[in-house]
Structure 1
Amino acid sequence: MIIRPITPGDLDPLLEIATESGPGFTSLMPDRDALSRKIEHSVASFARPVTEPGDEYYLFVLEDSSTGEVMGTTGIEAAAGVSRPLVHFRRNAVIHHEEDRQKRHPEESLTRCRHYTGCTEVCSLYLRPKFRRANAGKLLSRVRFVFMALHPERFADKVIAEMRGVSDDTGQSPFWDWLKHQVADLDFMSATQLACCSQSDFIESFIPATPLYTRQMTNAARAAIGQVHNDTRPARHMLEREGFRHRGFVDLLDGGPTLECRKADIVSVRDTFIASACARPRTVGPERDKRAAPESAIVANTACSEFRATVSDRAWWDPEANRVVVTDQVARDLNLGDRSLAGCLPLDHQNALPEPRQRPGHNPATEEIRYAH
């Protein structure tokens, strides 16, 4: 499995991904022209010299090394909410004051707001069902943080993730099923298309700026606030293990939570290290120091537009020589020559890492991502 930047030749599989992922996967809608523009934007972003985050959008694909098929996607928006407003509901506890203190009671409300502006957003993660295998989801999710660690100037200090909210097998959202009767009698697919395809006036025109009180909602709609789609739970758990937390901001259409974390506090950003690459025909031998060898690791080159990454259980850290030892095949897959720089993220955090990044006692992620957001 190889992660690489998307190219124009990936348009057809990207359209298949956008179609099969369903209406809740709002970052990639099944519109061929719109997807083509996203690819062009991504290609230009990878090629652009950057000293601080702007409107760049980085879209990666996971490729099956043996067949060349596209297994899934994952992406990063460098500065979300700048060129197009990023609007959420903020959950608030409202205290109704009565003269009689015994009658005072808290009540929850949702208020439309623009809270996240200029934050980096991880997005567009989808692993196709027929390619769901060990480490594929981990690679799609965590490679974004490896790329951030290798190119920190391209990304903001705060990183967010908008998680897919609750919906049924037909793509209907209980949150939207209630909300549409208050704002616009549209099906969920039509509402997401209007909200995501540069129709920013849809939000201003139909989503009220005045608070919505959750006591007025149906039980199903209220229960969906801040919750994620069943297939998104492993992705949320993995992000939470990375340090992401929900701070009370939810999606306008399906009520899904937005998670956030400081870039410097993301575990995989902090634990990614750079060292010289050394290729060998095989890395297993009696001289290998098993205490310094992760069971598996994400290994990447340090390029931008020619970025490549993979998961390998045959890459290990040689602390005395300050190098990462990989097989010849991994070196070829990643375009790594001897003495070129490689980024490495051990997936088992209990193994030794170069100081000062060792994090004793941290449990490795064990759940496999299906699709996320």
Structure 2
Amino acid sequence: MTHRIRAATPGDLQALYEMAKLTGGGFTNLPPDRKALITKLEKSAAAFTRDDDEPADDLFVFVLENVATGEVRGTCQVFAMVGQKWPFYSYRIGALTQHSEELGRTFRADILNLSTDLEGASEVGGLFLHPGERAGGLGMLIARSRYLFIRNHRARFADRTLAELRGVIDEAGGSPFWDGVAGRFFGMSFQEADEFNAKYGNQFIADLMPKHPVYIAMLSEHARSVIGKPHPSGRAAMRMLEDEGFAWENYVDIFDGGPTMTARTDQIRSVREAVESPVARIDPSLCEGQGDKRLVSAGRLAGFRAAYGWVQSGEDGVAIDPACAAALGVAEGDSITHVARW
């Protein structure tokens, strides 16, 4: 296998920074700011080092590495429990129905309600794949490896998992939703607010965001049209989340109005369907027709690895191909976790 997922290290800073510059804005979890990225890597290192099973405000950063060249070509993140340092705000779309006897009419108004309902949930996010690598199922490898990590460290994660999808950003880098809602209260552009949030957290939202409901009908048509819509580049990610069992339950991001998807952690498809097996043998003859192409992981915490591999089940365990075994660093007798490749 040519690529694997592994824990990020301080040596990955430059590669992460270069990828961050390619995101095009609105990507809070991967800011093009070295100081912010260093802070993320330090927090991730602390999370990987902590070896107890108590849930905490952990961040795990992973990278996609070309095994042959050592190049880092993608990244993703897992937050064990959001809303522990700062409140985790979302808008939830609700409704208010009122009836007038005199007019003989009933009015239904859709409303944005500021909410911290999702505090304490785990989050999968920060997924970015280098534009030159968007083929061969590598996006799926990055996305689904997170669920195998959660499964293999289940006690450290919540019973609910969320994923925030980037909302619609215009050609100038602005957000119609931000301009129509929060931007009116903050005196800063979307790009300025997004950058500030990425560097310093969202406490400024708690300080300045109006707490009263926002009637959607009072927003501009442009702002209304993007509520709950993912950025065009995020549509494939939304489909992958739906395939895993995530659903949109009317939560949207307070910055750009993008959809926040949620799922019960144990019902995420990759978590639910993955199995653990001992490696009975490493078989050079394994290939298409003699085994199943599966997503395979091994290792704990900083030793976690994930890659695609050929797997063949037997009475005494499974056989895997040598390239997968090398990418994961496993030998006969070691244990792997694996799930079907869709």
Change (3 A) 1:181 1:306: closer
User: Aligned residue for 2:308?
Assistant: 311
Counterpart residue type for residue 137 of structure 1? G
SS in 2 for 1:116: coil
The superposition leaves residues 96-133 of structure 1 with CA deviations (integer Å, 9 ceiling, x where unpaired) of 23233722210111121211111110011000101212
1:326 aligns with 2:320: yes
Of residues 294, 297, 300, the one that matches 1:300 is 297
Quote the residue 1:361 is aligned against: none
Secondary structure of 1:228 counterpart: coil
The answer to whether the Cα contact below 8 Å between 1:120 and 1:155 also exists between their aligned partners in 2 is: yes
CA distance in 1, matches of 2:86, 2:183: 26
Contact 1:324 1:342 (8 Å CA) reproduced: no
Percent identity between the aligned chains? 35
| Contact persistence 1:5–1:307 (CA under 8 A) | yes
Query: Which residue number in structure 2 is paired with residue 279 of structure 1?
Result: 282
How far did residue 46 of structure 1 move? Answer: 1.1
1:80 is matched with 82
User: How far 1:200 sits from its partner (Å)?
Assistant: 3.4
Write out aligned runs for 1:75-224 (5 A): 75-100=77-102, 102-180=104-182, 182-224=184-226
Structure 2 unpaired stretches of 5+: none
SS at match of 2:13: helix
State the partner residue of 2:33: 31
Q: For residue 225 of structure 1, what is the aligned residue in structure 2? A: 227
With over 3 angstroms needed to count, the CA separation of the structure-2 counterparts of 1:75 and 1:201, relative to structure 1, is: closer
Aligned length: 339
Counterparts of 2:46 and 2:203, CA distance in 1: 28
- Structure 1 residue 72: deviation in Å? 0.5
Secondary structure of 2:174's aligned partner = coil
How far, CA to CA, are the matches of 1:341 and 1:178 in structure 2?
Answer: 52
Structure 1 310/201 Cα, relative in aligned 2: closer, same or farther at 3 Å?
A: closer
Aligned residue among 324, 337, 342 for 1:343: 337
In structure 2, C-alpha distance between the alignment counterparts of 1:304 and 1:205, rounded to whole Å: 36
Decide whether aligned partners of structure 1 residues 110 and 284 sit closer, same or farther in structure 2, where only a CA change above 3 A counts. closer
Structure 1 position 192, deviation (Å): 1.0
Per-residue deviation, 1:22: 2.1
> Which has the larger strand fraction?
2
Q: What's the CA shift for 1:303?
A: 2.3
Name the structure 2 match of 1:353: none
> What is the aligned-residue RMSD (CA, Å)?
1.7
Give 3-state SS (helix, strand or coil) of 2:80's partner: strand
Q: Given the two structures, how large is their TM-score scaled by the length of structure 2?
A: 0.94
TM-score, structure 1 normalization: 0.87
Name the SS of the counterpart of 2:204 in structure 1. Answer: helix
Instruction: Specify whether residues 300 and 110 from structure 1 end up closer, same or farther in structure 2 by C-alpha distance, changes over 3 A only.
Output: same
Q: Mark the runs of 5 or more structure 1 residues left unpaired by the alignment.
A: 349-373
Report the equivalent of 1:43.
45
Report deviation, 1:283.
Answer: 1.5
Single out whichever of 10-19 and 198-207 deviates more from structure 2: 198-207
Residue aligning to 2:68: 66
Match in the other structure for 1:366: none
Check conservation: 1:194, 1:202, Cα contact below 8 A: no
Cα distance in 2 between the residues matched to 1:181 and 1:47: 40
Query: 1:70-106: per-residue Cα shift (whole Å, max 9, x none)?
Result: 1110110000111221101111111123233722210
Amino acid at match of 2:334: S
List 4+ stretches of structure 1 deviating above 4 A.
none
Task: Give the CA deviation at 1:315.
Answer: 2.3
How far the C-alpha of 1:316 sits from its partner, in A, is 2.4
SS in 2 for 1:97: strand
Q: Secondary structure at the match of 1:104?
A: strand
1:282 and 1:328 in contact (8 A); partners too: no
Output the CA distance in 2 between the equivalents of 1:283 and 1:194.
Answer: 50
